[in-house]
Every structure is written in structure tokens, then in C-alpha cells.
Chain A
Amino acid sequence: MDEKSSVSSISIARLLEIDAEQNHSMGLEVLSGKEYLDKKYITSEEINRPGLPLAGFFDRFANQRIQILGRGEMAYIEKLLRENNKKNIVRFFEYDIPVCIVTHNFDIPSYLIEQSEKSGIPFLRTNLSTKRFIAIVSTILSELFAPSVTIHGNFISIYNVGVLITGKSGIGKSESVLGLVERGHKFVCDDIVRIKKIRTGKGVELKGEPFHNYGPYIEIRGIGIINVAQYYGEGKILKSEKLDLIVDLHEWDSSYSYDRLGIEEKYENILGIEVPRKEIPVSPGRNIPLLIEVAAYREVMRKLGYNSAIELNEKIQELMKKEKEVV
């Protein structure tokens, strides 16, 4: 496992592509600097509203971030232009800025366009409000810049429980996934999974997604490569799912003590987050897709606070107590 950020930089052109691919509706139009879109790169997931630089304070100006000009900034720029005080604007455009984005579909003073063209900074406009636009662009960027690892395994969503299936080559991971898809669950990816650490409103969570964008292909030994979407329908495919459980398939080893009760939980640390992990021994006659499905149900129950083993144990202890009192 090799931890790194998913990407270290992203071009403005790619940002626009992602917006279109994933339907984020950022509502962007390019006003100037079209030819620089694939030459300018964003290197930080943070954004900046350049109020202070425009007012003349350039110390610690975060010029490497996306610069967003909202209602306040635009009003100030208009004031500067009315007073013919262009010093700060000129200086602003002298910095190496990846992109300037104006919100609220404001009319842009032609002077700004001229300056941005002169300095080779793409100038974009959105019809969204500043707050809405920042929310969308932050989500996209924090996903792109999220720390991630790639893991050899398969990823499937069982009733919204994201399950990572690991195990040695040839143990039957892909076959199990096919069995699970057939049971109505959703395929995310085969063989190699990218796990990302994403910040959400509720905290940090892990998300699994395909390592590549070629499509939902799966390799089954003896059959060959299969396009899951073609064979089982688009409805059986998911782009990504949060990671809730790791199922590790083992060749049955009679000297290894497998969990037989399910009272103690085992975890595996991925990107600093503890993920529940179940080891399932594989041997003839064991229906692995069924077992993985049950492990996922169990994870749902565990989160709701139910544990069958603890429940039964409590009943037995209650009974032993009673018998003792009788004696």
C-alpha cells in the first residue's frame, strides 16, 4: 500500500471536464484565456477571495489558489475603476494565479478582461451564488486532492455497505463478486481499488472507487473478461461507495483459529481509519457470496448495536445464574 494524494495538481481544463462528467453544474463559462486552460494548474484544494490584495495588502497572498470574485470584490473593483485607481488590480494580475472566477453572472468590466488576457490568467464566470459555487468547487477539489491508497481487491456495495474483498490471487474474489452481483448487489470494481479518505460534513470517511475509467470489467478464470454492465445491466454498477467492511478470503487452514463467536471485532488500519475486518476461510462446499452477504448484514446490525453472539451469551449467563440460585 502506497499512500499519496490522488493527484498533486489539476489543470483548469480538467476541472471543467470533471464538472461536465459528474454533473456538478458549476455553470462556468470561459470569458478569456481559453488557450491557457490546460496550462494553468490548481495545486491546492483551498480557494481564496482576494479582498485584501485588491485593497493593497499583498502579504501572504494565497495566489496559488482559485481566486473567487463575489459581490463584495466586484463592487470594490468597480469602485477602484471609477476612481481610476488601477494600481492594485495591475499588481493582482502580476501574480501567478491559476484562475479567476466571478460569481452571480456579474458583468465584467472590460479592463479586467484585458488585464487577465495580458497576464495569461483564465477568467471564468458562473451563474451561481458565491456560497453555492464555493461549496461545489470545494467538494470536487477535496475529492481530487484526498489522500488515497490502491489495494489489490474487489469492491462491491451490499445494500449500501461497501465491502472490500481481499485475498490471494485465484482464491475466488472475482467469482464471489459475480455471485454477489447475481444476488442483486452492486459492482464497483474488480482487482484493484482506489481507497480515498474524504472529509464530509459528518467527519472523515473512506471511499472506494475504480482505479481506472475504462469500465466495469471483471476477469473470471476459465471464461475471460466480462463487461458487467453489458451482462447484468447498468443498474448493477456503482461509481463509488464508502468503505465499511473488509472481507479477507483465506485458504482453509485447520491450524489457524478463525473467529467462531464474533464477539471481538478485528480492524485494519487504512489511511488512519480503523475498518472492521472479517477473515473467511474458503473450502469446497462453502458458499462464499452468501457468507460475504451475511458479513455485510452483520456489519449493519453491529452499527445498530446488535450482536447475536453477545445476546446469546447473556441469555446463557442469565440461565446459569438462575440454576446456581436453585442449587
Chain B
Amino acid sequence: MKKIKVAVKNEYGLHARPSSLMANLASQFKSDIKVIKDDNEVNCKSIMNLLLLAAGKGVVLTIVADGEDEDEALKALRELVEIRKFDED
């Protein structure tokens, strides 16, 4: 099990389109992936779960991956959230 922290950097935060990108990306990995914001832990492969976190710009999320491809999963998710900023902005 591995854990990383990522900051939401795009202007509109984790709204519908970014949530769908993130869930689709996470779904490509075999590992169990969870996202934690404050006390809420949700499934990273579910669009609705991610959306309901209501993570705006500046929020720091913890992503936890557990499984054979956990390293690749975390690397890909970090790139999507912090570097590509969900292809927005």
C-alpha cells in the first residue's frame, strides 16, 4: 500500500469533467484506489464519489493505492491532477 498527497490546482476544482477523467484513469489499474479529503474516504474509480468530495482549487487530497500496479497508478494520477491539471486552465 502506497500513499501520496496531491493538490488540486485547476481553477474549477474537481467538478464533473475532472471527476470523470480521474475515475476513468483509476479504472485502468487493478489496484484498489481511494481518495481522502478531510475525514471522507471515497473510491477513486467512481465518478459520483469523487464529485461529492467537492474538492475545490487548493484542496490537498490523499490518494491511497493498494495492489500490484500501485506505483504506476499513483504516478499517473499525480500527473493528471498536478501536472496536467485535468487538461484545464
Q: State whether the Cβ of B47 lies closer than 8 Å to any Cβ in chain A.
A: yes
Q: How far is the CA of A310 from the CA of B16 in the complex (A)?
A: 8
CA of A54 to CA of B4, assembled, Å: 90
Stretch of B48-56, B62-70, B71-79, B80-88 on the interface side: B48-56
Q: Which of B20, B24, B55, B57 has the most CB of A within 10 A?
A: B20
Does A313 contact B24, Cβ atoms closer than 8 Å?
Answer: no
CB neighbours (8 Å) of B54 from chain A are: 316, 319-320, 323
Q: How far is the CB of B23 from chain A (nearest CB, A)?
A: 7
- Interface membership of chain A positions 293-327, coded 1 if the CB is closer than 8 angstroms to chain B and 0 otherwise: 00000000000000001101100110111011001
Contact A261 B56, beta carbon cutoff 8 Å: no
Q: How far is the CB of A265 from chain B (nearest CB, A)?
A: 14
Question: Do A313 and B15 touch across chains, with their CB atoms under 8 A apart?
Answer: yes
CB of B44 to closest CB in A, whole Å = 14
| Complex partner residue of B52 from A263, A316, A324, CB under 8 angstroms | A316
Complex interface bits, B27-66 against A, C-beta within 8 A gives 1, otherwise 0: 0000000000000000000010001101111100000000
- Do the beta carbons of A313 and B56 come within 8 Å of each other? no
From A312, A319, A323, A324, contact of B16 by CB (8 A): A312
User: Is there contact, CB below 8 Å, between A312 and B24?
Assistant: no
Q: Who on chain A is nearest to B27 by CB? A: A254
Q: Whole-angstrom distance between the alpha carbons of A168 and B69 in the complex? A: 35
What is the distance, in angstroms, from A162's C-beta to the closest C-beta of chain B? 29
Whether B51 and A312, one on each chain, are in contact in the complex, defined by CB atoms closer than 8 angstroms, is: yes
* A221 CB–B CB distance under 8 Å: no
Contact B23 A324, beta carbon cutoff 8 Å? no
Q: Is A212 an interface residue (CB 8 A)?
A: no
Q: Which residues of chain A have C-beta atoms less than 8 A from B56's C-beta?
A: 320-321, 323-324
Q: With contacts defined as CB atoms under 8 Å apart, how many contacts are there between chain A and chain B in the complex?
A: 42
Contact A317 B12 (CB under 8 A): yes
Bound-complex Cα distance A313 to B17 (A): 9
Q: How far is the CA of A316 from the CA of B16 in the complex (A)?
A: 9
Q: How far is the CA of A257 from the CA of B56 in the complex (A)?
A: 25
CA distance A317 to B16 in the complex (A): 9
Determine the chain B residues whose CB is within 8 A of the CB of A261 once the complex forms.
16-17, 20, 47
Chain B residues, Cβ within 8 Å of A312: 16, 51
List of B residues within 8 angstroms of A316 by Cβ: 15-16, 51-52, 54
Contact B17–A263 (Cβ < 8 Å): yes
Say whether A324 contacts B58, CB under 8 Å: yes
Q: Is the CB of A317 within 8 A of B13?
A: yes
Query: Per-residue 0/1 for B1-23: is the Cβ within 8 Å of any A Cβ (1 yes, 0 no)?
Result: 00000000000111111001001
Cross-chain contact of A313 among B16, B23, B55, B57 (Cβ < 8 A): B16
Q: Which residues of A contact B52 (CB under 8 A)?
A: 316
Q: Are B55 and A320 in contact (CB-based, < 8 A)?
A: yes
Q: Does A202 lie at the interface of the complex (its beta carbon under 8 Å from any beta carbon of B)?
A: no
> Is A260's beta carbon under 8 Å from chain B?
yes
Chain A residues whose C-beta falls within 8 Å of the C-beta of B23 in the assembled complex = 260
Return the contact of A260 from the options B15, B47, B55, B57 (Cβ within 8 A): B47
Contacting residues of chain A (256-314) with chain B, CB-CB under 8 angstroms:
257, 260-261, 263, 309-310, 312-313
Cα(A327)–Cα(B59), bound, Å: 10
* Whole-angstrom CA separation of A97 from B54 in the bound complex: 73
Closest B residue to A313 by CB, please name it. Answer: B16
Q: How far does the alpha carbon of A321 sit from the alpha carbon of B20 in the complex, in Å?
A: 20
A319–B37 CA distance with the chains assembled, in angstroms: 15
A260, B20: Cβ atoms under 8 Å? yes
6 contacting pairs across A/B (C-beta < 8 A): A261-B20, A261-B47, A313-B15, A313-B51, A321-B56, A324-B57
Given contact pairs A257-B24, A260-B20, enumerate 4 new A-B contacts (beta carbons under 8 Å): A263-B16, A312-B51, A316-B54, A317-B15
List of 3 A-B pairs having minimum Cβ-Cβ separation, nearest first:
A320-B56, A313-B16, A319-B54
